[in-house]
């Protein structure tokens, strides 16, 4: 590698640093401490530690595109412990070179140059052509925390001209975070709005982009945290935490989608869910008694509206005691669940963390005996109220407590419950909103207060819940939902966006939140369709359903005191359209399942904002509503009342209108017709979109033929189809298949499609129905593996159809 000279990185000593960067306890006159000049350096294992006169900097090359930074005040580092980093993460072997230059240290990887200035230990990272990607402004510094002790640790970076920012999980507001300040402190924010902050989840990861280069920053710190994207000063981006150690990862793209993918691999990919969990879910606070639940199932089946899952909220319990049944409302839960299964319904139940203080309650007895409940500073058990009244709360940061919590699911699994929904786990309480700061936690051997454990509490509850289900589900896959979360939660659970409201603004916000979660490692996300609070009219509910068909987690949920939101509660015209779109969800389930497999194996987001699809196209930087599902579907929801058309942007490519097969050239804005029975939906030219027959629930029928929709290409295009049993873990032993379809245009208007297959999974179907879109007329020839098949084909509504062997190798259309 070539030698690159070092250089000093100037720091503006005169720039104002407002108290807003710290917290409400500090003023701008509080003393700031800095790393100081370089004093010495050493190498420990894979890390380089550069000691300054005030603090030390540890730098680790995790991957050629990922560099980890830790700052140790007064030269001391904390134990390097993380709940977020996937224990299974194994970076590929990375070659790098460390050099000491006159004014700086230089670390070289195959893609990056990282300079550490000897004058002040500030950091600058460039790519190979010398473009500065990431650079300290004031750099790292800290202040003593006046009220809690410890320090408030801050990093201030240069905000480049035209820089955009994305990520941070389920944040409200604009998709592009520029000009805003955001807070991470998981909050039960009932009826939140577009300006509410903080909200439920705590994902301290953001992506920045400038100079056609994308990068990411993951600050792995569970304390209350803040991010300022040019709000205080338009030339500075800052992130800080009210305690702990400043530890962050720099992740290089150069594309934003690469950044999101690498972050997800670092914090862990999601396990494949049971396929039924990707079907339609129906929920309400609450369905009871048993007769109401049975009637709900009967209504779905008699009305032919597909549904896989019925959720039971807190009223199924005996006095809101977790892991119990109200025997008056549900006298025979095992039989009810078994009968629902016969009709194709899975049952998901809610579990909150609050355990009722009741000496006769077995779970309470076990919690006391096993020392599983959180304590106050002076040793008394934490007592706070939630739905059961006064409660104690498990310390999920304790390994033994997580294991105990997992054992509590044995009874529910034995009753036939198929999945668990964790709520109120920010953690939320009625008195003060959350636990007092003096509550103590084990933190897996790193004792701490609630200030450090709060933001990770929900994730660890979800981990305990997931692992508990896995223990008793035999060979079935666990399904967990969580409301609160920290980075890495995707390893254990799906999420939803919390207690939203029935409004057009909230429909748009749900779209943005799900995109943002997907870019933050959490693709298995959705919203309460129709709004949890309030009563949507038929049009709003229909438009929300249309959007949610393309969100990985697809659930209608409502607060019963605000009206019912079952699909048939609206006028007939809306019911028919809603039915058609839920049916569509089931038809394209092979595509969605394949997209989940891609996310599960490679970390690539399922939902992709346009700035991730076309990251150097300026038209995408502020686009919010258009999004991709997987590689080939482009969706733009209708978010205005009475709208029958809308403007949307097509990124560079060619796109087929799903409804008309009309071809549109990309890299331009178009006006799209969208009557009530349609959503703007486009398919990438060259794509293969698989469809299965309409069904009322996953596994209802044996699929004898799978439809493959081929769209004529303009450039070579690759599509995937992943298949396995849809539940269980046999796929880990090779009982799965990945089919690759390469669609290529060639001379003389020819169109070639090649199929290859890895794996030996034996599918139910033994024949394809090929549907070829984009042909003006019936072609002159269709050769399948060298055999002329034109006579066996027919044009149906402008689409050529032909039955195909599932083992075909090549199709040539002329």
* Residue 18 pLDDT > 50: no
Read off the pLDDT of residues 119-139 as tens digits, 9 standing for 90 and up. 999 999 999 999 999 999 999
Predicted local distance difference test score (pLDDT) of residue 21: 35
% of the chain exceeding 90 in pLDDT: 93
Question: What is the pLDDT averaged over residues 368-380?
Answer: 98
Cα separation, 478 vs 491, whole angstroms: 11
Question: What is the pLDDT averaged over residues 368-383?
Answer: 98
Predicted local distance difference test score (pLDDT) of residue 43: 96
* Residue 8 pLDDT > 70: no
CB atoms within 10 A of CB 126: 17
* Residue 15 pLDDT > 60: no
Residue 454 main-chain phi, psi, to 5 deg: -50, -55
DSSP-derived letter for residue 311 is E
Task: Determine the 3-state secondary structure of 26 from DSSP.
Answer: coil
Predicted local distance difference test score (pLDDT) of residue 94: 84
Predicted local distance difference test score (pLDDT) of residue 10: 31
Q: Contact, 500 vs 525, CB < 8 A? A: no
Predicted local distance difference test score (pLDDT) of residue 19: 31
* Dihedral over Cα of 484, 83, 207, 240: its sign: positive
Predicted local distance difference test score (pLDDT) of residue 147: 86
Q: Contact, 541 vs 527, CB < 8 A? A: no
Cα separation, 313 vs 659, whole angstroms: 38
Q: Contact, 16 vs 232, CB < 8 A? A: no
**Residue with more model confidence, 760 or 675:** 675
Q: Contact, 448 vs 454, CB < 8 A? A: no
Q: Give the residue numbers marked as catalytic.
A: 423, 426, 499
* Dihedral over Cα of 375, 380, 381, 385: its sign: negative
Cα separation, 472 vs 406, whole angstroms: 9
Q: What band does 28 get if pLDDT is binned at 50, 70 and 90?
A: low
* Residue 392 pLDDT > 90: yes
* Residue 26 pLDDT > 60: no
Cα separation, 304 vs 293, whole angstroms: 17
Cβ neighbourhood burial of 82 (10 Å; 0-12, 13-18, 19+):
middle
Q: Contact, 689 vs 715, CB < 8 A? A: no
Q: Mean pLDDT in the chain?
A: 95
Radius of gyration of the chain (CA): 27
CA neighbor of 188 nearest in space, from 458, 459, 514, 521: 458
* Residue 468 pLDDT > 80: yes
Question: What is the pLDDT averaged over residues 169-183?
Answer: 98
Q: What band does 747 get if pLDDT is binned at 50, 70 and 90?
A: confident
| Largest separation between any pair of C-alpha atoms in the chain | 85
Q: Are strands 607-609 and 627-629 parallel, antiparallel or unpaired?
A: antiparallel
Helix or strand run (H / E) with residue 790 = none
Predicted local distance difference test score (pLDDT) of residue 1: 30
CA neighbor of 677 nearest in space, from 537, 508, 543, 506: 543
* pTM of the complete model beyond 0.85: yes
* Residue 405 pLDDT > 90: yes
Read off the pLDDT of residues 638-671 as tens digits, 9 standing for 90 and up. 999 999 999 999 999 999 999 999 999 999 999 9
* Residue 22 pLDDT > 60: no
Cα separation, 272 vs 479, whole angstroms: 10
Sheet holding 654-657: strands in order across?
607-609, 627-629, 633-635, 681-684, 654-657, 663-665
Question: What is the pLDDT averaged over residues 391-414?
Answer: 98
Predicted local distance difference test score (pLDDT) of residue 16: 28
Cα separation, 712 vs 490, whole angstroms: 36
Predicted local distance difference test score (pLDDT) of residue 349: 98
* Dihedral over Cα of 741, 745, 747, 751: its sign: positive
Q: What band does 9 get if pLDDT is binned at 50, 70 and 90?
A: very low
Question: What is the pLDDT averaged over residues 624-634?
Answer: 98
**Residue with more model confidence, 501 or 5:** 501
* Residue 12 pLDDT > 70: no
Predicted local distance difference test score (pLDDT) of residue 82: 98
Predicted local distance difference test score (pLDDT) of residue 4: 29
Instruction: Let me know how long the chain is.
Output: 814
Residue 300 main-chain phi, psi, to 5 deg: -60, -45
Q: Are strands 201-202 and 485-486 parallel, antiparallel or unpaired?
A: parallel
Question: What is the pLDDT averaged over residues 61-80?
Answer: 96
* Residue 446 pLDDT > 60: yes
Residue burial 698-716, b: 16+ Cβ < 10 Å; e: rest: bbeeeeebbbbbbbbbeee
């Amino acid at each position: 590698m070539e030698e690159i000279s070092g250089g000093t990185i100037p720091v503006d000593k005169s720039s104002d640093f407002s108290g807003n960067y710290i917290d409400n306890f500090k003023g701008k006159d509080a003393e700031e401490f800095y790393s100081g000049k370089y004093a010495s350096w050493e190498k420990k294992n894979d890390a380089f530690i550069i000691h300054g006169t005030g603090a030390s900097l540890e730098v680790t090359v995790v991957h050629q595109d990922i560099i980890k930074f830790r700052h140790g005040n007064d030269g001391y580092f904390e134990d390097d412990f993380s709940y977020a980093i996937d224990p299974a993460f194994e970076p590929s072997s990375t070659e790098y070179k460390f050099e000491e230059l006159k004014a700086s240290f230089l670390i070289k990887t195959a893609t990056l140059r990282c300079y550490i200035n000897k004058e002040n230990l500030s950091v600058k990272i460039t790519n190979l052509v010398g473009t500065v990607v990431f650079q300290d402004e004031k750099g790292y510094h800290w202040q003593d925390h006046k009220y809690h002790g410890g320090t408030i640790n801050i990093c201030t970076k240069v905000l480049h001209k035209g820089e955009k920012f994305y990520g941070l999980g389920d944040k409200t507001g604009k998709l592009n975070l520029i000009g805003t300040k955001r807070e991470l402190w998981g909050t039960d924010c009932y009826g939140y709005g577009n300006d509410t902050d903080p909200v439920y989840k705590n994902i301290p990861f953001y992506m920045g982009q400038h100079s056609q280069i994308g990068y990411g920053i993951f600050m792995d710190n569970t304390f209350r945290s803040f991010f300022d994207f040019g709000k205080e000063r338009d030339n500075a981006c800052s992130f800080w935490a009210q305690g702990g150690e400043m530890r962050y990862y720099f992740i290089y793209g150069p594309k934003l989608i690469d950044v999101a993918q690498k972050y997800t691999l670092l914090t862990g990919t999601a396990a494949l869910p049971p396929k039924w969990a990707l079907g339609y879910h129906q929920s309400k606070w609450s369905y009871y008694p048993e007769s109401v639940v049975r009637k709900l199932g009967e209504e779905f089946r008699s009305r032919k509206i597909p549904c896989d899952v019925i959720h039971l909220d807190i009223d199924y319990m005996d006095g809101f005691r977790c892991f119990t049944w109200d025997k008056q409302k549900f006298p025979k839960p095992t039989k009810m669940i078994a009968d629902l299964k016969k009709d194709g319904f899975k049952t998901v139940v809610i579990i909150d963390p609050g355990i009722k203080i009741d000496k006769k309650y077995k779970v309470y007895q076990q919690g006391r005996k096993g020392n599983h409940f959180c304590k106050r500073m002076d040793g008394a058990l934490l007592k706070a109220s939630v739905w059961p009244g006064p409660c104690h709360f498990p310390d999920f940061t304790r390994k033994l407590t997580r294991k105990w919590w997992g054992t509590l699911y044995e009874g529910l699994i034995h009753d036939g419950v198929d999945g668990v929904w964790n709520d109120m786990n920010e953690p939320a309480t009625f008195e003060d909103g959350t636990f007092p700061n003096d509550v103590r936690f084990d933190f897996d051997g790193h004792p701490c207060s609630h200030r450090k454990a709060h933001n990770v509490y929900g994730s660890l509850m979800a981990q305990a819940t997931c692992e508990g289900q896995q223990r008793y589900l035999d060979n079935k896959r666990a399904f967990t939902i969580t409301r609160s979360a920290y980075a890495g939660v995707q390893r254990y659970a799906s999420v939803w966006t919390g207690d939203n409201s029935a409004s057009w603004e909230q429909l748009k916000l749900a779209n943005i939140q799900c995109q943002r979660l997907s870019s933050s490692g959490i693709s298995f996300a959705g919203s309460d369709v129709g709004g949890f609070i309030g009563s949507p009219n038929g049009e709003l509910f229909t438009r929300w359903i249309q959007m949610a068909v393309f969100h990985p987690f697809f659930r209608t949920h409502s607060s019963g005191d605000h009206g019912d939101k079952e699909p048939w509660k609206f006028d007939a015209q809306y019911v028919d359209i809603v039915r058609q779109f839920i049916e569509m969800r089931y038809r394209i389930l092979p595509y969605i399942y394949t997209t989940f497999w891609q996310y599960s194996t490679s970390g690539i987001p399922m939902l992709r904002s346009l700035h991730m699809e076309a990251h150097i196209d300026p038209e995408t930087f502020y686009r919010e509503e258009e999004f991709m599902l997987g590689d080939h579907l482009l969706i733009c929801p209708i978010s205005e009342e009475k709208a029958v058309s809308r403007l949307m942007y097509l990124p560079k490519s060619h796109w087929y209108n799903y409804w008309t097969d009309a071809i549109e050239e990309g890299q331009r804005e178009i006006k799209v017709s969208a009557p009530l029975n349609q959503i703007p939906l486009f398919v990438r030219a060259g794509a293969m979109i698989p469809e299965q027959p309409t069904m009322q629930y996953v596994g209802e029928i044996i699929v004898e033929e799978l439809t493959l929709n081929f769209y004529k290409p303009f450039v070579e295009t690759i599509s995937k189809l992943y298949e396995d049993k849809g539940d269980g873990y046999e796929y880990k032993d090779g009982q799965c298949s990945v089919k690759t379809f390469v669609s290529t245009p060639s001379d003389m208007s020819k169109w070639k499609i090649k199929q290859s297959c890895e794996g030996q999974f034996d599918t139910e179907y033994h024949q394809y129905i090929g549907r070829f879109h984009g042909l003006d007329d019936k072609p002159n020839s269709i050769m399948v593996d060298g055999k002329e098949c034109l006579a066996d084909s027919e044009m149906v509504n402008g689409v050529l159809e032909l039955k195909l062997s599932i083992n075909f190798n090549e199709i040539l259309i002329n």
